[in-house]
């Protein structure tokens, strides 16, 4: 029986992966279908399935709704104010053009801490395209470290929903999880970001030019670098 449940659980995970990557379903739809498949194959009756689904979703969203709402607001503030762009440009000035992959990695890593992956992409993509057009370097050398920094923080580091859900399930200490996740995430981001980008950009040359151009910020004053970092790191400080 235990092996059967383990097999069904693995199939449910496969449904989630295929639903998002192959069938192009929304992640919520994929998770719902996989949950129903797991419940039915486990032998639960329909009334118990509904109750279990409501309890599970409600318990997860109960302590995440504030994080989701505040994260969305913070992302909008960073995008409109230019705080994210200011932090990214700080790292570019600090590392220099010759070390662009490292600059873009840390920009994505820091900006990705308080905001969702998609929001970080919206904030940093115009800068990636602008640097690409200015330096004429392979866009993979610039974009891959950004995506790596954003995605690995989103998946491992609180206060992102996935990490917060795991913390709630296992009653873990938030401070320790934050520290340990950074210890794990940073080396992984270095390997998957600048190191991999240095290797792949000589072997893969994207064809065509991206159409998106950088949004001009000359008409408005960007916030100072210190304030920008404070806004981004505020959730961690709290």
Check residue 117 and give its pLDDT.
83
Res 188: pLDDT: 94
Instruction: Summarize pLDDT for 49-104 with one digit per residue, the tens.
Output: 888 877 777 666 666 666 666 666 776 777 677 777 788 888 888 888 888 899 99
- The more confident residue out of 215 and 69 is 69
Which residues contact residue 159 at a Cβ distance below 8 angstroms, ignoring those fewer than 6 apart?
A: 67, 71, 114, 235, 236
Maximum average pLDDT range among 34-38, 45-49, 90-94: 34-38
Q: CA separation (Å) from 64 to 168, 178, 214? A: 10, 16, 33
Rg of the chain over CA atoms, in angstroms? Answer: 20
User: Does the bond joining 159 to the residue before it have cis omega, within 30 degrees of 0?
Assistant: yes
Q: Model confidence at 145, in pLDDT bands (50, 70, 90)? A: very high
35 Cβ contact list (under 8 Å, min separation 6): 12, 53, 56
Provide mean pLDDT across the span 33-56. Answer: 84
For the entire predicted model, the pTM comes to 0.68
Lowest mean pLDDT among 145-149, 155-159, 207-211, 219-223: 207-211
pLDDT at 124 over 50: yes
How far out from the chain centre does Cα 144 lie?
13
Per-domain residue ranges of the chain: 2-62, 66-237
As a whole number of angstroms, the distance between CA 106 and CA 100 comes to: 10
Q: Which of 115, 53, 32 is nearest to 81 (CA)?
A: 115
Mean pLDDT calculated for residue range 140-159: 90
Alpha carbon distance 127, 104 (integer Å): 10
| pLDDT recorded at residue 181 | 92
Give the lowest-confidence range in 5-9, 89-93, 177-181, 216-220.
216-220
Q: Is the pLDDT reported for residue 1 higher than 70? A: no
């Amino acid at each position: 029986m235990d092996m059967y449940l383990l097999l069904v659980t693995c199939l449910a995970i496969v449904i989630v992966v295929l639903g998002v990557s192959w069938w192009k379903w929304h992640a919520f739809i994929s998770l719902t279908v996989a949950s129903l498949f797991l419940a039915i194959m486990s032998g639960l009756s329909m009334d118990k399935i509904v109750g279990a689904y409501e309890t599970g979703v409600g318990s997860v969203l109960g302590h995440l709704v504030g994080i989701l709402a505040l994260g969305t607001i913070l992302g909008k503030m960073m995008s409109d104010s230019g705080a994210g762009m200011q932090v990214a440009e700080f790292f570019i000035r600090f590392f220099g053009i010759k070390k662009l992959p490292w600059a873009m990695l840390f920009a994505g890593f820091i900006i990705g801490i308080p905001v969702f992956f998609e929001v970080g992409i919206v904030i940093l993509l115009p800068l990636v395209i602008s640097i690409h057009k200015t330096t004429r370097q392979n866009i993979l050398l610039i974009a891959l470290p950004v995506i790596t920094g954003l995605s690995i923080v989103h998946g491992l580091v609180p206060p992102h929903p996935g990490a917060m859900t795991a913390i709630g399930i296992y009653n873990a200490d938030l401070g320790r999880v934050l520290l340990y996740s950074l210890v794990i995430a940073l080396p992984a981001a270095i390997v998957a970001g600048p190191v991999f980008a240095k290797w792949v950009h000589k072997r893969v040359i994207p064809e065509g030019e991206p159409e998106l151009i950088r949004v001009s910020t000359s008409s408005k004053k960007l916030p100072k670098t210190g304030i920008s970092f404070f806004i981004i790191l505020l959730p961690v400080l709290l």
